[in-house]
Structure 1
Amino acid sequence: MELLLWGVLPYVAMVLFIGGHIVRYQYDQFGWTAKSSEFLESKDLRYGSIMLHWGLIFVLFGHILGLVIPLSFYQAIGISHTAYHYLAIGAGIPAGLIAFAGLLLLIRRRIMHRKLQQTTSLADKLALGALFIVIASGLSATFMNVDAQGFDYRESISPWFRGIFALQVQPELMSDVPVWFKTHILAATGLFVVWPFTRLVHVFSFPVMYLTRSPIVYRKQRNKKAS
């Protein structure tokens, strides 16, 4: 089971994530959008979307610092385990809470407005549900590990994560990881599996052409009768 969960499942999720995006782009380019429903309701969307997106950006940045950068780097520049831990907790919890609050606003918006209920697809429910589980499990894992002398994921989860991309996966590193961290990782893996089939694909839509297109000039049409 350890080999299946931490040695095989990550690559299955990676194939589905990459392959799903390729297939979606080839056969559903018109559906490659955030499918904005602002014209149906804008207040909750405005606050919820801003909170969710900015919260997730800071959470992602924190995950990069903890998972991608090896422990040896922090030791080389003199950052102790205690200092790193309090920095991660001090920044991670507020960012996670902001993202979670924004998500709850968006979920409430979908539930409370009848027009939005009618336009909410199964994929929308799947995306919101997956995000809820991932963020909630991540916050739970963080709160369960507030103690500076607690579990240091940089010694196990981080090298396991980097090993996936180096094709040197070591599932044995995950054997002693607390269950709340494992739950968060499995939830995130599930999110990546369903990602290509939901509106989350809009994350990879960058308006690059806006940087090179010619400016649009608007001119007021003169009233011929008045002239």
Structure 2
Amino acid sequence: MNTLIWVVLPYACLAVFVAGHVWRWRHDQFGWTTHTSQLLESRLLRLGSPLFHLGAFGVIGGHAMGLLVPASVTSALGIPEHLYHAVAVWGGTVTGLVLVAGLILLIARRLVNGRIRRVTTRMDKVLYAGLTAMVLLGMTATVAKNLLGDGYDYRETIAVWFRGVFWFQPHTELMTGAPLVYQLHAIGGFLFLALWPFTRLVHVWSAPLAYLWRPYVVYRARRGPVPPPAPAPAEVRDAARPSPSRP
């Protein structure tokens, strides 16, 4: 069972993540979009979307730092363990709360606005349910276990297993002793990756980065008065005249 959960499942989810994006791009390019509903409601979206995206960027950055950077690297850089732990816990709590606030607003606008509720697809509902579960598990692990509890050093267990998945050396024994909330969060994370290609989240790979280095569009102001239009030729004037009515 441990091999199925901590070896087979991650690789299966990663395979679906890659193959799903390829299939989606080849067969559903017109659906490769955010499916924005801004025209239907903008007040809550104007507040909820920035909060959600800022919180998501912070959470993703924190996960990348905690899972991909070994403890030996931060120690070699002279960062004490207690300082790293404090920054990780408080930073994760703040960015997590920002993400929660944005997610609540985005879900609320789909529940209270009838027009948006009618255009919400079944996959949107699955996406929001998955996001809610992932955020709740992550906040529980951060706040209940590390901020208010005794703490848990996931960098010596979960992070090592996570990096081992990509090195094709997953150490399943490191996950069997992890707290249940961390185990569920890890499983949910890989399942969420498998869900990703079939949702509106594919739009993150289509960010308009080309705008950063494209040449500027130069607009030249018109100087002086606008010249009058050139007189039309005689044949054009004659064709434009109304024909005389017959008696």
TM alignment of 1:113-132, pairs within 5 A: 113-132=113-132
1:46 has 2:30 as partner: no
- What is the Cα-based RMSD across aligned positions, in Å? 2.0
Q: Determine the structure 1 residue equivalent to 2:234.
A: none
Give the aligned length. Answer: 224
Q: What letter corresponds to residue 183 of structure 2 in structure 1?
A: K
| 5+ residue gaps, structure 1 | none
1:88 has 2:55 as partner: no
Question: Given the alignment, which residue of 214, 217, 227 partners 1:215?
Answer: 217
1:16 has 2:16 as partner: yes
Note if contact 1:13-1:190 (Cα within 8 Å) is conserved in structure 2: yes
The secondary structure found in structure 2 opposite 1:145 is: helix
Q: Determine the structure 2 residue equivalent to 1:177.
A: 178
Note if contact 1:85-1:148 (Cα within 8 Å) is conserved in structure 2: no
Compute the displacement of 1:149 (Å): 5.2
Q: What letter corresponds to residue 114 of structure 1 in structure 2?
A: G
Compute the displacement of 1:27 (Å): 0.5
**Alpha-carbon separation, structure 2, partners of 1:223 and 1:100:** 59
Q: 1:84 to 1:186 in 2, by over 3 A?
A: same
- Which segment drifts farther, 187-196 or 47-56? 187-196
1:168 has 2:172 as partner: no
**Alpha-carbon separation, structure 2, partners of 1:120 and 1:219:** 45
Note if contact 1:49-1:102 (Cα within 8 Å) is conserved in structure 2: yes
**Alpha-carbon separation, structure 1, partners of 2:25 and 2:220:** 33
Compute the displacement of 1:212 (Å): 2.4
Q: Determine the structure 1 residue equivalent to 2:199.
A: 198
The secondary structure found in structure 2 opposite 1:78 is: coil
- Which segment drifts farther, 144-153 or 97-106? 144-153
Compute the displacement of 1:188 (Å): 1.3
Q: What letter corresponds to residue 14 of structure 1 in structure 2?
A: L
Q: What letter corresponds to residue 212 of structure 1 in structure 2?
A: R
Q: What letter corresponds to residue 189 of structure 1 in structure 2?
A: F
TM-score (norm 2): 0.85
Q: Determine the structure 1 residue equivalent to 2:236.
A: none
**Alpha-carbon separation, structure 1, partners of 2:168 and 2:218:** 49
The secondary structure found in structure 2 opposite 1:107 is: helix
Aligned-residue identity in percent: 39
Note if contact 1:82-1:148 (Cα within 8 Å) is conserved in structure 2: no
CA distances 1:92-134 after superposition (whole Å, capped 9, x unpaired): 1010010011001000000000001110001111111111111
**Alpha-carbon separation, structure 2, partners of 1:149 and 1:125:** 35
